[in-house]
Amino acid sequence: MKRVRRFAKIVWTVAKYRLDDIAVALAPRRRLVRMLPWRLLPAASASPARRLREALEELGPVFVKFGQVLSTRRDLLPTDYADELALLQDQVPPFAAALAVARIEGRAGRPIGQVFATFEETPLASASLAQVHAATLPTGEEVVVKVIRPGVEQVIANDLALLYAIARLLERLSKEARRLHLEQLVADYERTIFDELNLLLEAANTATLRRNFAASPLLYAPRVHWDYCFEDVLVMERVYGVPIADVETLRARGADMRKLAERGVETFFTQVFEDNFFHADMHPGNIFVDVTDAANPSYIAVDCAIIGRLTEADQAYLAKNIAAFFNQDYARVARLHVESGWIPAGTDVGAFEAVIRQLCEPIFQRPLKDISFGHFLVALFRTARRFEMEVQPQLVLLQKTLLNVEGLGRQLYPDLDLWHTAKPFMDRWMAQRYGPLAIARGLLEQAPALIDQLPRLPELLAAAGTRFGDMDRAAAEQRDAMRALTRALDTRRRGARWRQLAGAALALAGLGLLWRSAAATAVEPTVLAGAGAVIIGVLLAGRG
């Protein structure tokens, strides 16, 4: 019954915000869509993208978070939809503090007064999946306590079932919906949201990020208090800083805005290329600034539920793509996409290069400081889809994070030159990975194994000629076997054709005998012979 009411609520919201306009755009030729009863209502004044955002906000937390995930797929969505969905705010009224206390006591196995010295019932923040309370440990350390919202798992499961049903329906109705891979987007969202429900995973991510930047002035991650953590309760150090979006306060505190913006870029590239572990939810609500030393401001990161990683191959090809992009080497960009497996091996590299050139040349007519590499990635992924490129989830997270970093950086310092800031880092990273020192280091690492093989070197060289000869003989034997197999198949095909012809002739002859016996009232043996000939002929032709 609850699902029926929820579905009725969705239908009502679709009608209220006239989202049928979007359905018509997705499936313009579907008479069923055009005959929806609310199509008779007056047209809405707001844009379809804005109406979609407002409808998702009205439908509640699960749909809000789905819209946020959808906003990251700029390679799939029109720009106006992606921009509008990015405005979705994941803020909901708090749940009763007594429910949070009951969950903490149930996990800890003792009263809240024995767990914390103090516990503030008024939450610091409340979102769709959890809310956060301030507390003090018995040792006197200030902490924050994150508690999963009671009953949210069942709400998510019910809404996910409806989202899957809607996605499947739209994909059946519309080619455009199939291009958007709506069902796959819901599946990606399902993995993301259930990861966010596991606070032990967030605790592990926070601890790893803290360890990666332990000796760095760029970023600080709070300390996790593992003795108080469970799958639905997270306790970590309380940190104080200025919200990254509060630019006025940062300026009033004397923060070096240029250094802060450039450090944001350096932090991103360090996470992606050195640590291969990057905070993939760097929206303004999760980033604070420590301005204790205003001349050297640093970042504080919280909410590490969503983390991105790249394979070593993706790291290498991404780095080479960045260098080739800024060197305007479009042929290399095209080749790298094929070599990395991002687009199929049979792709016409020349045609792909021409499309990349057409995409990039207008970009390079602007000053470097005005070029957004994040938006270039969006345009590149969108273009590459024409060449059957399937954008991988880790690349989507990377694209989303880079857009956030660029956006925040230019909000802090409008003249931020991403390439000027990133190039020294990328040059150093490439040299460390592929330069002469990297080769020498690789040789040194392999030296013990090479030394072990040195006494066998004459034997290996002597055996090499024999092995090459064996390989040639094996190849020749394989070629002979293939020729014999081809001849056998040809013989079999010719035999099959002859059997088909013979069977057809025999069946026709049998039919002739049957016809003749019927016309002349022939004796039984003639009838039997004709019927037998037909059956044998059909079987013979069928075997051919």
Separation CA 121–CA 100 (nearest Å): 9
User: Could you tell me if 3 and 162 are in contact, meaning their C-beta atoms sit under 8 angstroms apart?
Assistant: yes
SS3 per residue for 135-190: EECCCCCEEEEEEECCCHHHHHHHHHHHHHHHHHHHHHHCHHHHHCCHHHHHHHHH
Residue where the block lists tokens 């990975």: 433
DSSP secondary-structure letter at 94? Answer: P
Name residues whose C-beta falls within 8 Å of residue 247's C-beta, 6 or more positions apart in sequence: 257, 411, 412
Distance CA 425, CA 323 (A): 11
Separation CA 126–CA 402 (nearest Å): 27
Q: How far apart are the first and last CA of the chain?
A: 60
Residues with catalytic roles: 281
Kindly give, in sequence order, each residue whose CB lies less than 8 Å from that of residue 417, ignoring residues fewer than 6 positions away. 368, 369
CA distance 191 to 198: 11
For 92-98, which contacts have Cβ atoms below 8 Å and span 24 or more sequence positions?
92/60, 92/61, 92/126, 92/127, 92/128, 93/126, 94/123, 94/126, 94/131, 95/126, 95/131, 95/149, 95/150, 97/121, 97/122, 97/123, 97/133
Q: Can you tell me which residue has the tokens 């239908």? A: 11
Please give the full DSSP string across 314-342, using - where no structure is assigned: HHHHHHHHHHHHHTT-HHHHHHHHHHTTS
Q: DSSP assignment, residue 130?
A: E
